[in-house]
């Protein structure tokens, strides 16, 4: 091809109009802005280790004031990642509790088994366990896909807009998946049938299922109720089978991801299988993991500086997993005393081989003991 031809090719590639280019830009900006609002700003140039961490812990001790009644700021991350931690190990070793992790690595979903071995399920954006760990619901652009733990696709549906934040709930034999498509809330049965829109103008936050009620409590109670936030921030709940709105309960609010509220923001309070709760609370530049075990006092553990992901409970309710992107580590923290941390480092490289340590930080989506 001559130089003149190449110039002509470049001109056409550059100047040819794209369908609704301006509209696409504005739609994208709204989404990007919403995504940006949901992230915590990076603290200014904070050294990660040693003195600075200890100083951060001291600041935390003075400023945290976040203790709910009875909570005690008892432990701080002092060195490396803390609290009698084992030295971070490159790679992922045996998990300290039974079960398997589901991981979102930006350009792929992975399962990490208890022995630390991994399997890539496919090129998915988000992934979530089914209630019993037999399947994974994953998103790929406008597609919602159900795959088995070997990565084989069981079914696929295509939504009108990009699918985000799937959440899977239900009983042994009857499950539903709620998900967002654009700014609509949708639901589909666990076998991929009956997809329907439940609500419009929902906030860019994940929906949350209510626990399935005990069948003995009465046949009239709806089995599948999902709570969500509207674009104005209000909490709503709807019976996913009838589409009928139902009254909101206080627990619906705590089950939903909170809206960003600036420097004093809390993450989502996560309830563990044994009834304990854990939440990442941020005050100024300090973050603490606040753990409350059933019948026990709340305890706050100082965390390393910078944004964190999680927490995620282990299936036995004894451990919590927190992601630390700036340190490129996963911290697995024993909830009970004696406190113990297992730290896995160089996590990104484990899920982005061949990218020289680049790639999106892998986020733990769930930790489950599969019933297979």
Partner 1 sequence: MSASTASSPLRTFGGGLASRREAALVRDAQRGSEEALEELFRRHWRRAHRAAFLVVGDPAAAEDIAQESFLAAIRALDRFDRRRPFGPWLHRIAVNRAIDHARARNLRAESELPELGVAESAGERISDELFAALGGLTPEHRAVVVLRHLLGYTPGEIGGILGIPRGTVNSRLRRALDRLRPAIESEEG
Is residue 69 a contact point for partner 1 (CB under 8 A)? Answer: no
Residue 4 neighbours by CB under 8 Å, 6+ apart: none
Encoded one letter per residue, x for contact with partner 1 by CB under 8 A and - for no contact, window 108-147 reads ---------------x-x--------------xxx-----
> Which alpha helices (H) appear in the chain, and where do they start and end?
3-15, 21-37, 50-63, 250-255, 347-351
Q: Which residues contact 170 (CB under 8 A, 6 or more apart)?
A: 131, 176, 190, 212, 223, 224
Give 209 or 324: the residue with its C-beta nearer to partner 1.
324
Ranges within 32-61 binding partner 1 (CB under 8 A): 32-33, 35-37, 39, 41-42, 44
Interatomic CA distance for residues 171 and 152, integer angstroms: 23
Return the number of the residue (37 or 63) whose C-beta is nearest partner 1. Answer: 37
One of 218, 233, 295, 354 touching partner 1 (CB under 8 A): 354
**Minimum distance of partner 1 from residue 34's CB (angstroms):** 9
- Cα separation, 71 vs 57, whole angstroms: 16
Q: Are 308 and 77 in contact (CB under 8 A)?
A: no
Count the Cβ atoms, other than its own, within 10 Å of residue 8.
12
The alpha carbon of residue 22 and the mean position of all alpha carbons in its chain are separated, in whole angstroms, by 32
Q: Looking only at residues 170 through 189 of this chain, which bind partner 1 when binding is defined by CB under 8 A?
A: none
**Per CB under 8 A, 259 contacts partner 1:** no
In the complex with partner 1, which residue's Cβ is closer, 222 or 359? 359
Question: Which residues from 16-35 bind partner 1, rule CB under 8 A?
Answer: 16-21, 24-25, 27-29, 31-33, 35
Applying CB under 8 A, the span of 2-10, 69-77, 249-257, 281-289 interacting with partner 1 comes to 2-10
Q: DSSP assignment, residue 348? A: H
d(CA 159, CA 166): 12
Instruction: State the Cα torsion 90-92-96-101 to the nearest 10°.
Output: 150
CA distances from 56 to 104, 301, 342 (A): 29, 12, 21
For the bound state, the minimum distance from the C-beta of residue 26 to partner 1, rounded and expressed in Å, comes to 10
| Contact set for partner 1, span 297-326 (CB under 8 A) | 306-307, 325-326
Cβ 220 to partner 1, closest distance in Å? 40
The reply on whether position 156 binds partner 1 by CB under 8 A is yes
Nearest to 319 by CA among 338, 341, 335: 335
For residue 68, the minimal CB distance to partner 1 (Å) is 27
Binding residues vs partner 1 (CB under 8 A):
1, 5-6, 8-10, 12-14, 16-21, 24-25, 27-29, 31-33, 35-37, 39, 41-42, 44, 106-107, 123, 125, 140-142, 156, 158, 161-162, 306-307, 325-326, 354-355, 359-361
């Amino acid at each position: 091809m001559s130089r003149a031809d190449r110039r002509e090719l470049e001109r056409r590639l550059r100047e040819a109009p794209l369908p609704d280019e301006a509209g696409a830009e504005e739609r994208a900006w709204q989404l990007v802005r919403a995504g940006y609002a949901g992230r915590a700003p990076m603290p200014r140039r904070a050294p990660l280790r040693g003195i600075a961490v200890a100083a951060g812990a001291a600041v935390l001790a003075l400023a945290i004031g976040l203790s709910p009644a009875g909570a005690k700021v008892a432990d701080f991350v002092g060195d490396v990642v803390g609290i009698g931690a084992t030295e971070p190990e490159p790679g992922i070793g045996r998990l300290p509790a039974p079960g398997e992790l589901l991981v979102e690595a930006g350009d792929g979903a992975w399962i990490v088994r208890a022995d630390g071995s991994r399997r890539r399920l496919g090129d998915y954006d988000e992934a979530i366990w089914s209630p019993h760990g037999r399947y994974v619901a994953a998103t790929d652009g406008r597609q919602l896909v159900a795959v088995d733990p070997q990565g084989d696709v069981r079914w696929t549906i295509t939504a009108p807009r990009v699918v985000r934040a799937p959440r899977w709930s239900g009983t042994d034999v009857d499950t539903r998946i709620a998900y967002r498509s654009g700014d609509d809330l949708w639901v589909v049965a666990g076998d991929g049938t009956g997809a329907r829109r439940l609500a419009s103008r929902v906030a860019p936050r994940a929906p949350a299922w209510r626990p399935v009620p005990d069948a003995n409590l009465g046949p009239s109670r709806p089995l599948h109720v999902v709570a969500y936030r509207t674009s104005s921030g209000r909490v709503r709940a709807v019976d996913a089978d009838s589409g009928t709105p139902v009254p909101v309960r206080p627990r619906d609010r705590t089950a939903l991801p909170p809206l960003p509220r600036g420097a004093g923001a809390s993450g989502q309070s996560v309830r563990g299988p044994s009834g304990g709760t854990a939440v990442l609370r941020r005050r100024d530049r300090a973050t603490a993991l606040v753990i409350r075990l059933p019948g026990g006092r709340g305890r706050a553990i100082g965390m390393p500086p910078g944004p964190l992901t999680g927490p995620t409970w282990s299936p036995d309710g004894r451990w919590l997993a927190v992601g630390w992107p700036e340190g490129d580590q996963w911290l697995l923290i024993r909830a009970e005393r004696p406190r113990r941390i297992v730290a896995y480092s160089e996590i990104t490289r484990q899920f982005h081989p061949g990218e020289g340590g680049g790639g999106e930080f892998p986020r733990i989506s769930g930790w489950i003991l599969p019933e297979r």
